[in-house]
Amino acid sequence: MAEFLSLQAAVSRYIDDGDTVAMEGFTHLIPFAAGHEIIRQAKRDLTLIRMTPDLIYDQLIGAGCVRQLIFSWGGNPGVGSLHRLRDAVEQGWPNSVEILEHSHAAMACAYEAGAAGLPLAVLRGYVSSDLPKVNPQIKCIECPFTGEQLAAVPSIRPDVAVVHAQRADRQGNVLIEGIVGVQKEVVLAAKRSIVTVEEIVDDLGASVNACVLPSWAVTAIAQAPQGAKPSYALGYYERDNAFYQAWDEIARDRERFQAWLNDHVLEQGAVS
Amino acid sequence: MTLEFTASEMMSVTAARALTNDMTCFVGIGLPSEAANLARLTHAPEVTLIYESGTLQTKPEILPLSIGDGELCESALTTVSVPEMFRYWLQGGHVSVGFLGTAQIDRYANLNTTLIGDYRHPKVRLPGGGGAPEIATNAHEVFITVKHSKRTFVEAVDFITTVGFGRDGKARDDVPHIGRGPTVVITDLCILKPDPTSKELVVTSLHPNVSREAVIEATGWEIRFADSLETTPSPSAHELDVLRRLKARTQAHHAGQS
């Protein structure tokens, strides 16, 4: 059964230095509060996996938590670059970060294969792309039935999955609504999982086919109201597009980024 | 009366016109999203728009800043998981058109959104592939819209993130279950289409008041022009009005937050 913990306790207990951590949420429900707690606890040498690193990984990379990044689209959506990611890759600041990059289709398939307990994912992908030349995780296999050449990538099996969701009930069952991304897949693929939620309720109010994670499939739940901001939680608050635009200026400059990190993350207390 | 319009309005309107009611379009963020929604709000109200965040048959009132804004989900027929989107709907063959933007494009319509320079020591690191590598091969055909400049239109891309027709124009030959690839490229200067045999991009239509020299100047290879070179029809007053109102709504919405 899922254990209810404070976010501080959940991050402290279940994320170790050197872990492979996947914090997911496809534009929606990005677990920023948990990311900030990881920064405050100064976790180091993490391998981070995420389809779209987004501002959350830009912040973790700039804060020096990251050794390796596995991703498929590393920009600030609709705005431009992730400057902290670029600074780490291009200049090695604050430390060099090794990157392994995929396409979205391959990562989505790799999460699904991880949830299914398989060692690899197979897809009709990467045809004539240069990505297989620079990412040794991308291989080609032959279909044993038709002979067709298909792409194969290793499944994603992180040490820890971290996701945000709308709500949990008091038994620890979790409801995810709206753009569900790979939230279910990453939790089922990981050895341990931390789910932050907007609120804890008596009744989830889930429809019969809703995306629900049963309590026994989740390790820890922490209440973190507004824990996905500046991304959004459908039914609770909208995406703060103005902040995404403002981030471009904040993250462009090392000192300005560090001042922001200090004021908005390091000197803030943990939620709940 | 002659209407006044900008080059980027000309591009958006022309890109929108490429879409029809019977298409199911997998939409990239930015210029493709603007064009696809303009089509939906003008001549193609029944066009089916799909975004990679899992939103099927979406009808946003404002243009999303990201591929997964709430607007897309709330106005969609339904929203599926991202693995389902790529596996069942795209790879399964249900997408007729992939609509993409790019940072670099070359004479064989290969796209680079990964980096400028050397992979291990990039001059400029770009966001990467995202959905494009598989959209370009699993959609039945691909439309591309991008601003025309020498930095963007290069002889050969530094990195093939997403294949057009490969380094020699033959990358799709004899590959099973692969789409036709790029069929049209719409810029702020002209329309280009791949030569049926060589697959090299050829200018088939110049936008009003754009000279051949302007296109040659903005292209990084010896660009060819079709024998029967056309002039792209100008935007109508209605198209311009809908586009301007869409952009004004979008800007007001995104700025009004925080």
Tally of structural domains, chain A: 2
| In a shared domain, residues A215 and A193 | yes
Amino acid letter for position B76:
A
Residues 6 or more apart whose Cβ sits within 8 Å of residue B135: B26, B28, B52, B90, B95, B98, B100, B142, B162
pLDDT at B207: 98
Burial class (CB within 10 angstroms; exposed 0-12, middle 13-18, buried 19+) of B4: exposed
Considering only CB atoms, A127 lies closest to which of B83, B87, B178, namely B178
| In a shared domain, residues A210 and A140 | no
Domain of B84, CATH number, reads: 3.40.1080.10
Interchain CB contact of B130 with A (< 8 Å): yes
Residue range B40-69, pLDDT digits in tens: 999 999 999 999 999 999 999 999 988 888
Chain B, nearest residue to A52 by Cα: B130
Domain of A80, CATH number, reads: 3.40.1080.10
The domain of A143 spans 120-154
Q: What is the mean pLDDT of chain B?
A: 96
| In a shared domain, residues A77 and A178 | yes
Distance CA B234, CA B62 (A): 24
| In a shared domain, residues A61 and A170 | yes
Residue A206 half-sphere exposure, CB side, CA atoms within 13 Å?
20
Evaluate whether A194 touches A34 at the Cβ level (below 8 Å).
yes
| In a shared domain, residues A66 and A141 | no
| A205 C-beta neighbours (distance < 10 Å), count | 12
Using a CB-CB cut-off of 8 Å, the residues of chain B touching A130 are: 114, 159-161
* Residue A144 forms part of a structural domain: yes
Dihedral angle, C-alpha A129, A131, A134, A135, nearest 10 °:
-140
* Residue B1 forms part of a structural domain: no
Q: pLDDT in tens for each of the 272 residues of chain A? A: 999 999 999 999 999 999 999 999 999 999 999 999 999 999 999 999 999 999 999 999 999 999 999 999 999 998 999 999 999 998 999 999 999 999 999 999 999 999 999 999 999 999 999 999 999 999 999 999 999 999 999 999 999 999 999 999 999 999 999 999 999 999 999 999 999 999 999 999 999 999 999 999 999 999 999 999 999 999 999 999 999 999 999 999 999 999 999 999 999 876 54
SS3 category, B41: helix
- The candidate with the shortest Cα–Cα distance to B68, out of A38, A174, A233, is A233
| In a shared domain, residues A189 and A235 | yes
Distance CA B86, CA B56 (A): 12
* Residue A109 forms part of a structural domain: no
Find which of B26, B61, B81 to mutate to test the A interface (most A CBs within 10 Å of its CB): B81
pTM of the model: 0.96
* Residue A132 forms part of a structural domain: yes
Dihedral angle, C-alpha A66, B53, A125, B132, nearest 10 °:
-90
Tally of structural domains, chain B: 1
Evaluate whether B144 touches B109 at the Cβ level (below 8 Å).
yes
| In a shared domain, residues A164 and A150 | no
Retrieve residue A107's tokens: 């990562």
| In a shared domain, residues A179 and A239 | yes
| In a shared domain, residues A69 and A189 | yes
* Residue B2 forms part of a structural domain: no
pLDDT band at B87 (very low <50, low <70, confident <90, very high): very high
| In a shared domain, residues A26 and A58 | yes
| In a shared domain, residues A127 and A16 | no
| In a shared domain, residues A37 and A80 | yes
Indicate the DSSP class of residue A81: E
Distance CA B72, CA A26 (A): 13
The domain of B204 spans 7-254
